[in-house]
Amino acid sequence: MSKLRFNVVEKAFQTKPVNVTVPKERPSEYFAKYVFNREKMFKYLPTDVYNRLADAMDNGATLDREIADKVADGMRRWAMELGATHYTHWFQPLTEGTAEKHDAFVEHDGKGGMLEEFSGKLLVQQEPDASSFPNGGIRNTFEARGYSAWDPSSPVFVVDDTLCIPTVFIAYTGESLDYKAPLLKALRAVDKAAVDVCRYFDANVKKVFAYLGWEQEYFLVDEGLYAARPDLLLTGRTLMGHEASKNQQLEDHYFGAIPSRVAAFMKDLEIQALELGIPVKTRHNEVAPNQFELAPIYEECNLAVDHNMLIMSLMRKIARNHGFRVLLHEKPFKGVNGSGKHNNWSLGTDNGVLLMAPGKTTEENLRFITFVVNTLMAVYRHNGLLKASIMSATNAHRLGANEAPPAIISSFLGTQLSKVLDHIEESSTDELISLGGKHGMKLDIPQIPELLIDNTDRNRTSPFAFTGNRFEFRAVGSEANCASAMIALNTAVAEQLVIFKQKVDALIEQGEPKISAIIQVVRHFIKECKPIRFDGNGYSEEWKKEAARRGLDCETSCPLIFDRYLAPESIRMFEVTGVMTQKELEARNEVKWEMYTKKIQIEARVLGDLVMNHVVPVATEYQTKLIDNVYKLKGLFPPEEANKLSAENITIIKEIAEHTSYIKEHVDAMVEARKVANKITDERKKAIAYHDNIAPMLEQIRYHIDKLELIVDDQMWTLPKYRELLFIR
């Protein structure tokens, strides 16, 4: 083992768990300690101001400047009692991360001194530079003005010494430059459309909420090993590395005992997350070695997205305190599971009814079927767009392998729900069959109580699976902003619910009874969206052929998948619902193509550096030692015996020569291909060139590097190997 590898591996072996200071209070007592929630609002704001702010949060009412001043003053007093000295508008630009600019609570007092101040003007609106964030050509470099505007529906919070204010981010000309603005519009659209449909069943429904429960998968690696791998450091994934003899094939890591160092990290993360109002609940080992999962209780969609962005930031910071680096890349290691961020999505009313859950009466079940079928129709009509919403250069490595869903959107319903829909489709009457909830299963073990079995099984290869009272959008990538998928899904469902109501109302106007009209339209949609329903193995070659026959989107090229955002039906959907304009969609696609190109470009450059500075020199040095050994054997033994003794070394020498020759030749070819692609000015065409001509070279070169790793003396290999990255604690 090389000296560098020996040092970092030895240090990793010796690293001990960090002691975590656990609060003496119960979690319920310190939950949201650093969040300006309703309890703190009521305490720090005048009653009339509190009521106006609550109205703005619940119903979207406008806050005038005088009220904003009083809210800002209350926020400042609360934050300063927690030690805050600064404030920031916290927003989500099109970088998949968050952004913030900190300003102090200080102003001149007019007497040569300073005073702590925070006005409603500063709370409601700020003006960060809009030209340096990805904008897809909406803003030029010399057009720098952009605005961040407070989102009252997501509570402010304190991190370290800074009051963080969740905001939208828009251009001077009004277009959204972030994820939050279109998400809020999509949630408003689905709320309005769903309320209109709900009133067929309950005239008292006033609001429908979209709920989201994300499951965050991630890897942990020792910080020293991470620093010794330039590819992990610069791209988030290993661009080379032969898989370890043992990885996940024994399935012994999944739900196994959590290693002590990891448990300390998780405990620290959970405490800080709970203090920030993030209701984390579940933690466990995932399938791959060093892979783990964190999941919260479900929340309203906008707040859930904010919390997921915040938790990823917390994970990165806290991991370093424990000697780890957290990897959120969807496929950091080849040959083992990648990481997703399953988005569990559902709808619920203001009177507590879950619209995706079966009911106890015929009418409640009809409502349930109505919303399930309209969701299926939305997914069917926009399956290509939904795939585009979760596609990226990083997630493309994960989809279709090791329990990740394939790059074809379909929906698993389970046997019971499928039978119900088939019955409605084939029936000539308005009769509905009953929908059972959980049923009992008795085991032939006396001491084990009766089990309650759900009405659906699970299908890990389904990208969009129904799981009892919600749909699980499993295809979302681990480092993605959940908002991207939630914007597309909620907008598609909103559009579909509007279409559904128009068709039902038309039948009612013709004299059809309401229930009969609803069932007729539902029956029509069940037949129309049948191609999206698939309960089988999403990995099989047969399914790929069948999906194409059904007319589902089977495109696998990442840059071409992005085209779905600009399909006429997508533009029409986003514009009719008021979520995004064609100009905004075109700009976002420019950003997507540019980001794809840059990520592949960086990976190609990093791999080239690794080849020239690590792989080829080490392989050549080992080859030289073998050559020297061959000459010494020939000088020591008779020719015939020397040839026999050196035959194996000569074979290895030839193998090294073949691999290094291939690597150097193709790295040079990759450099030339990049030069050609970089001359293309059209971002879409450039991204396609990188996908078609450069990305495949990364895997081709990697194959030969990984072969060399098996050949070269382990003591000479400078880079930490998979067996060290994935198993050291």
DSSP letter string, 306-326: HHHHHHHHHHHHHHHHTTEEE
| E-assigned strand segments in 160-303 | 162-171, 208-222, 280-285, 291-296, 299-300
Q: What is the predicted pLDDT for the residue at 453?
A: 42
With a CB cutoff of 8 Å and minimum separation 6, the contacts of 502 are none
- Dihedral of alpha carbons 528, 532, 536, 542, sign: positive
Q: What is the pLDDT of residues 405-425, one digit of tens each?
A: 678 999 999 888 898 899 888
Residue 157 structure tokens = 């919070």
Q: How large a percentage of the chain has pLDDT more than 90?
A: 72
**Res 332 pLDDT > 90:** yes
Question: Which residue type, as a one-letter code, is found at position 356?
Answer: M
Q: Distance between CA atoms of 583 and 448, rounded to whole angstroms?
A: 61
Is residue 441 predicted with pLDDT exceeding 50? no
- What is the C-alpha to C-alpha distance for residues 488 and 586, in angstroms, rounded to an integer? 15
Higher pLDDT, 107 or 190: 190
Exposure string over 182-194, b if 16+ CB within 10 A, otherwise e: bbbbbbbbbbbbb
pLDDT of residue 246: 83
557-614: per-residue pLDDT in tens? Answer: 999 999 999 999 999 999 999 999 999 999 999 999 999 999 999 999 999 999 999 9
Nearest to 6 by CA among 722, 714, 727, 729: 714
Q: Is the pLDDT of residue 456 over 80?
A: no
pLDDT at 667: 97
The distance of Cα 381 from the centroid of its chain, to the nearest Å, equals: 23
Residue 359: alpha-carbon gap to chain centroid = 32
Interval 424-443 mean pLDDT: 61
pLDDT tens for 633-659 read 888 888 888 888 888 999 999 999 999
- Residue 423: name the closest of 415, 439, 411, 504 by CA: 415
pLDDT tens digits for range 360-390: 888 899 999 999 999 999 999 999 999 999 9
Whether the pLDDT of residue 278 is over 60: the answer is yes
Residue 451 pLDDT class (50, 70, 90 cuts): very low
Q: For residue 448, what pLDDT is reported?
A: 46
Band (460; pLDDT cuts 50, 70, 90)? low
- pLDDT attached to residue 459: 57
* pLDDT over 70 percentage in the chain: 92
**pLDDT exceeds 70 at position 10:** no
pLDDT confidence band for 323 (50 / 70 / 90): very high
Over residues 36-51, the mean pLDDT reads 95
**Mean residue pLDDT across the chain:** 90
Other residues' Cβ atoms within 10 Å of the Cβ of residue 216? 23
Q: Nearest Cα to 70, choosing from 90, 53, 57?
A: 53
Assign 436 a pLDDT band (cuts: 50, 70, 90): low
Q: What is the pLDDT of residue 126?
A: 87
Name the band, by pLDDT with cuts 50, 70 and 90, for residue 452.
very low
Of the listed ranges 108-117, 377-386, 448-457, 618-627, the least confidently predicted one is 448-457
